[in-house]
Amino acid sequence: MSQKDEGLWLGTSDTGHKGIWINADGSGYYGAWLDGQPDNKNGNEHCMWLNTFEGEFGPDDADCDDVQNAGGYICEMKGRPAPFSITFW
């Protein structure tokens, strides 16, 4: 298991259009990334997750199989106010 297996899946990917990052709700992602990311290492990093890299925590691209088996996920539910929470397994 690599350090990346500790990340949190966000449901954002560029699988439909390489280099165009789309959130699970269909909206575009235009936020910041970890330094040097996304890098599409080995040509197969098409999913986004929150990860710790060299002491920084933020969005990173990774292989979708790794991301979907990550340590947890963050989701948003529209129409229902709820406190912020992160679930880890």
Decide which of 6 and 7 is more confident.
7
| Residue 89 pLDDT class (50, 70, 90 cuts) | very low
**When comparing pLDDT for 80 and 4, which is higher?**
80
- Model pLDDT, residue 22: 93
Sign of CA pseudo-dihedral 83, 55, 6, 16: positive
How much is the pLDDT for 3?
44
Percent of the chain at pLDDT exceeding 90: 33
Q: What is the pTM of this model?
A: 0.73
The top-level CATH class assigned to 3-88 is alpha beta
Domain ranges for the chain: 3-88
CA distance 49 to 70: 9
**How many Å apart are CA 61 and CA 43, to the nearest integer?**
11
Cis peptide bond upstream of 81, omega within 30: no
The pair of structure tokens assigned to 12 is 């954002």
Q: What is the pLDDT of residues 22-61, one digit of tens each?
A: 988 889 998 889 999 999 999 999 999 888 877 888 899 9
